[in-house]
Amino acid sequence: MKAIDRKDYCPRYAYEDSPQSIGYGATISAPHMHGYALDKLEPFLQPGMKALDIGSGSGYLAACMAAMVGDTGKVVGIEHISELVESSKRNVQKSHEDWIDSDRLELVEGDGRVGYEKEAPYDCIHVGAAAPTTPTKLIDQLKSPGRLFIPVGKYSQSIMIYDKDADGNVHEKKWLGVQYVPLTDAKAQRGFHQYDE
């Protein structure tokens, strides 16, 4: 996280340890949550590995992941708000323009609820919004072994860590109580948060 300057990705209060609005009903998570995610995913963010960041928003966490997988790895960030995809590309280019040009970091528009099959399978997947139930479509896109870090729940949410072992068996662990925005579609997000734009 020290290698990626948060102020390139967060317009206001970049270093405060709290979520910040980035417009369109989206937030950049608090730094401590990004730290937790990177710590839990670190064994699956080694040089040469491939990762998916769902709800990539500002591009900050995807850039941190790209720093970890190195120039032989790849990170895909998927975001359903087209304006955020474009601004995240500009954010990354402030300090790491070569990452996008070299395909080390790819930022795409799409529905992250179904993952991103085109680049699957992934060593790890991070999800920055809460799924209502176990996300089987995402687990299917993990390598064996692989790890998924995702908040799950409608009203009461917890970070769930799903580990797929070398034989393809999936083990789940409930880790931490959290409060995230729901994993939704672009139309619903835009309609509910018009005042943010």
Give the residue numbers annotated as catalytic, written as ranges.
29
CA 64/CA 87 separation, integer angstroms: 17
List CB contacts of 133: < 8 A, sequence separation 6 or more.
Answer: 152
CA nearest neighbour of 183 among 126, 107, 145, 141: 126
Structural contact between residues 151 and 125, judged by C-beta atoms closer than 8 angstroms: no
Buried-exposed string 111-140: b where 16+ CB fall within 10 A, e elsewhere: ebbebbeebbbbbbbbbbbbbeeebeebbe
CA 162/CA 116 separation, integer angstroms: 18
CA 145/CA 195 separation, integer angstroms: 43
CA 186/CA 167 separation, integer angstroms: 36
Structural contact between residues 138 and 149, judged by C-beta atoms closer than 8 angstroms: no
